[in-house]
Structure 1
Amino acid sequence: MSMEQVPSLRLEQRLKLAPQIIQSIEILQLPLLALEQRINQELVENPVLELRQVSPEEETPPAEEPLEERTTEETDFAKLDELAEAWEDYFSYASRPRPSEPAEDKKFQAIQNTPAPAPSLQDYLTMQMNLLNLEADLRTAVANIIYNIDDNGYLRYSIEEIAASLVASGGAGEAGGIPLEKLEEALKVVQGLDPPGVGARDLRECLLLQMSGGEPTLAREIVEDRLEDIQKNLYPKVARALGVSIEEVKEAVEFIGHLNPYPGALFSGQSAPYVLPDVIVEVQDGEYEVRLEERLSSNIFISPYYRRLLDSRGGDSKVRSFVRKKIQGARWLIEAIEQRRTTLFKIAKALVEFQTDFLEKGVAYLKPLKMQEVADATGVHVSTVSRAISGKYIQTPFGIYEMKFFFAGGPARRPRALISISEAPSLPLREEAKGDSWKAVKYKISQLVDKEDKKNPLSDEEIVKKLRAEGTQIARRTVAKYRRELGIPSSRRRREY
């Protein structure tokens, strides 16, 4: 059987996204800070884009004259030639060597302007170790223990495991390792470093290391012998075992509560993310007004000079082709930003109308809401809603929330009539939703626990009865599940004596 190349025709259909649509999807997904970075990048790469520096009193960019109304002037090309010659002279002069001024290293400048990372727990302990007058073998043992401590400040490996790992890796010392006695001595050195409690192997040892001797004797006894009973809130049992009153036990526990169970957490290096809301909801004359935060996106425009240059006759064809492509790219960017603005405003407007009770009364009145409901109300696809709210935040009278916070499940309720706001400027009031969202239920559980009698705390069954009395139908196992998710202990552990 011979193999040969034969030309043939084939008719097929393919679904392919145009570059403009891809760009619109990318712009829609960007939060405000990322959008501003994208705009700044485009301002650098695209010469036809300009940014208007507006004062606080000005909010609208200058109106751009239509292409067909602009006059064509041959003198524009003469000005362009003069400008090009001037720049050639400037660059030829700037490129001359200047022995009197040292050349600037941009990479070196970038390194100098980069903030130094915060020291880790291991760096902080190593710095203290270097200040101590230790023997070489003891210093090696201390360094090995330091780098086996986790971010919380605990030594999660036993001395025997550390010694075995050093033998396997051919570390220093006898028989390719470090003697156990030396590692024990090194551990005591580490446990004497700052922060207090570092190098502990469990919670009990961590708390004992933080007790310098001035603490109540009862507190040390509780940590040494009765810590598990305290964690289970068995105060009467501890009082009987130690022969003291419950009030004395409570005072000792209060002292223990001031100790740090995670001494290394201050060096975790995790910083709070910087959040800038894309949407701001404010009350104006008793009505909720939705406003988009726009600092750069509303102030970019295409330079009129390049528009006139494109309309003019003559000139270099390559220059005109370059300008034409850049103007087209600028138009696509501006249209994508405008589409993002319109879509995000409609979705935010819908969220405000759906969750008006939340804006007026708080989290306890957050209604169940699906993305499909907002998509139907705004006239867009549900995937567009998902992209539009991704990574974006909204500022409300009750604080700043991620936009996806407002989409929460809940118990079954009566369906509501859907309306379209694709053409209407505002949404009419909807029928009241039946039931609460799960986030609202969790909030109500936390409020019931906060207001309960601590000497007679509410059981899960009693919480169910109170919620059902308020109209929230929920099972006891669901209450127990939400209570655990909220970090609320059981009623027996919440009891105060």
Structure 2
Amino acid sequence: MAIGPRLDLRFTQSLVMTPQLRQAIKLLQSSNLEVSAFVEEELERNPLLERDERPDIPPPESAPPQEPAAAPDSYDAAGAATLPAEADAPLDIRDWSNVYDGEPARGGRADFEDAPRGIEELAAERPRTLREELAWQVRLAFPEAGDRLIAAQLIALLDPAGRLAIEDEAIAAAMGCDVPRVARIRAVMQRFEPTGLFCRSLRECLAVQLAERDRLDPAMAALLDHLELLARRDLRGLMRICGVDAEDLADMVAELKRLDPKPGASFDASPAMPLVPDVLMRPAPAWTAPDGTLEAAWLLELNPETLPRILVNRGFHARAQVSATREERAFLSEKYQAATWLVKSLEQRASTILKVAAEIVRRQDGFFRHGVTHLRPLILRDVAEAVELHESTVSRVTANKYIATPRGCFELKYFFTTAIGGTGGETFSAEAVRHRIRSMVTAECPDDILSDDAIVAALRREGVDIARRTVAKYREALRIPSSVQRKREKAVPA
């Protein structure tokens, strides 16, 4: 055969991931906080994007009809479009006694000025950190400058839990002082607020707190020396070592539970961020079915607080193109396409989230009406086929998205659970089975502790065909101790 160059014409199909498509996929799987941050960056980067600051006030009845919206504002559980709820009417202020009119408060300002206080002065003061609080206590406890310098070094060596991992000898060598002096300063600082800081072990931390409460007796000291037996729930061994009966040991364990094993962790803990749901759910008015029965449904709508409202400034784009150069027109065209694509991507994201959430609510209607015991098995393919989307799209939509329901706020991923077969041919949700196992363990009697085999037998009587190893796996996932450990715990009165 001849060897040489040759031209061939072939037709192939391939999926090209354009930057715009990657952006749409990224927005689909991002949380509302990530989407808001991305939109803020685009507002600063793209001059053709602007924030939509129009108020959400419905037009009066006498106004001419407006152009209908392109997409519905809410869906019911079956996917039907519904109209948005009317905005609350503005309140008519009749009592002006609580309205701020700019005059200074009674008694005047602390600096005797007549100007009203600014908003920056009304803001709450920043709480002091743990190290700032300890530094303030050091200035009150140690009058000598050398002691304050050693105390400052101890504060700098604290870990986030409030422990001090470095020995006194190493600190004394680094500071050029005696070891007893460091030990004395550390002992004083262990009584600082919060009590139990600057300790090297859990036993020392708990001992300092008990000594502060005058509860460190020989029996309690023996309990602290054998915390590993308490972790193993060997209560009989602890009663023998401490020389106490079951009632006294229960009081000692309850005293330990009231202590703080990590006194420094809670001091500087940042406040928990509130969870803002993406979808809001509420009961719909009841309606009469064709057969005469009274039916109830659910109304779903997107949370307006999580929807970035942006517009494309087409007027500015048209005016700028009149006197723009070729390079400037290319720049404006690129930014216009990016802005238009971003607005469409956000609209498509909102519509897809609402469509998937409506299908999930329709399939898990029993959960919202009767609780977790009526949670049905559900997989991504079931929802994808119902809403005519790909499974990967449904997976991205349900990731990091939350829905506020009458039973609480749940992630959309929560409603997808595997199926467990039943003895009668029906299937049960794995989450419902885990909830049933937790309920059975919670309701068990101290004299009749349920083993894994007993739980399996009880579930099979209820129609759930489950293996013993599956029950053990679910029990460990729920952090429920074994039957032997639970028997030890309940042998001593709480």
Q: TM-score, normalised by structure 1?
A: 0.69
1:17 and 2:26 aligned: no
State how far apart, in whole Å, the 1-side matches of 2:130 and 2:432 are: 40
Q: Tell me what 2:435 maps to.
A: 443
Which amino acid in the other structure matches residue 494 of structure 1? E
Q: Tell me what 1:292 maps to.
A: 302
Please give the secondary structure, in 2, of the residue aligned with 1:273.
coil
1:488 and 2:465 aligned: no
**Could you list the per-position Cα deviations for residues 95-138 of structure 1 after superposition, in whole angstroms to 9, with x for gaps in the alignment?**
xxxxxxxxxxxxxxxx9999998654344333422433255554
Moved more, 205-214 or 118-127: 118-127
Residue 452 of structure 1, aligned match among 444, 448, 452: 444
State how far apart, in whole Å, the 1-side matches of 2:202 and 2:308 are: 55
Q: Tell me what 1:83 maps to.
A: none
State how far apart, in whole Å, the 2-side matches of 1:203 and 1:379 are: 56
1:172 and 2:207 aligned: no
Instruction: Specify whether residues 56 and 33 from structure 1 end up closer, same or farther in structure 2 by C-alpha distance, changes over 3 A only.
Output: farther
Please give the secondary structure, in 1, of the residue aligned with 2:298.
strand
The answer to whether the 8 Å contact 1:277/1:392 transfers is yes
State how far apart, in whole Å, the 2-side matches of 1:480 and 1:137 are: 59
Q: Tell me what 1:345 maps to.
A: 354
State how far apart, in whole Å, the 2-side matches of 1:119 and 1:336 are: 44
Which amino acid in the other structure matches residue 131 of structure 1? L
The answer to whether the 8 Å contact 1:27/1:35 transfers is yes
Q: Which structure has the highest helix share of the two?
A: 1
Q: Tell me what 1:423 maps to.
A: none
| 1:26-37 matched pairs, under 5 angstroms | 26-37=26-37
- Give the % identical residues: 31
State how far apart, in whole Å, the 2-side matches of 1:322 and 1:157 are: 60
Instruction: Specify whether residues 10 and 191 from structure 1 end up closer, same or farther in structure 2 by C-alpha distance, changes over 3 A only.
Output: farther
Which amino acid in the other structure matches residue 188 of structure 2? V
Instruction: Specify whether residues 362 and 237 from structure 1 end up closer, same or farther in structure 2 by C-alpha distance, changes over 3 A only.
Output: same
The answer to whether the 8 Å contact 1:151/1:267 transfers is no
**Could you list the per-position Cα deviations for residues 61-107 of structure 1 after superposition, in whole angstroms to 9, with x for gaps in the alignment?**
964999xxxxxxxxxxxxxxxxxxxxxxxxxxxxxxxxxxxxxxxxx
1:367 and 2:376 aligned: yes
**Could you list the per-position Cα deviations for residues 375-409 of structure 1 after superposition, in whole angstroms to 9, with x for gaps in the alignment?**
23322222212222222111122111122222233
Instruction: Specify whether residues 361 and 240 from structure 1 end up closer, same or farther in structure 2 by C-alpha distance, changes over 3 A only.
Output: same
Which amino acid in the other structure matches residue 316 of structure 1? S
State how far apart, in whole Å, the 2-side matches of 1:64 and 1:331 are: 20
Instruction: Specify whether residues 298 and 63 from structure 1 end up closer, same or farther in structure 2 by C-alpha distance, changes over 3 A only.
Output: farther
Instruction: Specify whether residues 306 and 188 from structure 1 end up closer, same or farther in structure 2 by C-alpha distance, changes over 3 A only.
Output: closer
In structure 1, list runs of 5 or more residues that go unmatched: 1-7, 67-110, 415-431
State how far apart, in whole Å, the 1-side matches of 2:337 and 2:199 are: 64
The answer to whether the 8 Å contact 1:364/1:444 transfers is yes
Q: Tell me what 2:203 maps to.
A: 204
Please give the secondary structure, in 1, of the residue aligned with 2:403.
strand
Instruction: Specify whether residues 190 and 393 from structure 1 end up closer, same or farther in structure 2 by C-alpha distance, changes over 3 A only.
Output: same
The answer to whether the 8 Å contact 1:191/1:199 transfers is yes
1:154 and 2:166 aligned: no
Please give the secondary structure, in 1, of the residue aligned with 2:182.
helix
| 1:45-84 matched pairs, under 5 angstroms | 45-47=46-48, 49=50, 51-57=52-58, 63=67
1:396 and 2:389 aligned: no
The answer to whether the 8 Å contact 2:220/2:242 transfers is no
The answer to whether the 8 Å contact 1:47/1:326 transfers is yes
The answer to whether the 8 Å contact 1:28/1:388 transfers is yes
Give 1:210 shift.
1.1
The answer to whether the 8 Å contact 1:350/1:378 transfers is yes
In structure 2, list runs of 5 or more residues that go unmatched: 1-5, 71-119, 287-295
Q: Tell me what 1:428 maps to.
A: none
Which amino acid in the other structure matches residue 365 of structure 2? T
The answer to whether the 8 Å contact 1:358/1:366 transfers is yes
**Could you list the per-position Cα deviations for residues 257-278 of structure 1 after superposition, in whole angstroms to 9, with x for gaps in the alignment?**
2222221221243432332111
**Could you list the per-position Cα deviations for residues 319-366 of structure 1 after superposition, in whole angstroms to 9, with x for gaps in the alignment?**
877765554444322221221122212211222133223222223333
Give 1:493 shift.
3.6
Instruction: Specify whether residues 134 and 336 from structure 1 end up closer, same or farther in structure 2 by C-alpha distance, changes over 3 A only.
Output: same
The answer to whether the 8 Å contact 2:373/2:435 transfers is yes
Give 1:491 shift.
1.9
Q: Tell me what 1:251 maps to.
A: 251
1:377 and 2:380 aligned: no
State how far apart, in whole Å, the 2-side matches of 1:278 and 1:486 are: 28
Please give the secondary structure, in 1, of the residue aligned with 2:446.
coil
Give 1:209 shift.
0.7
The answer to whether the 8 Å contact 2:404/2:410 transfers is yes
Moved more, 233-242 or 449-458: 233-242
The answer to whether the 8 Å contact 1:278/1:394 transfers is yes
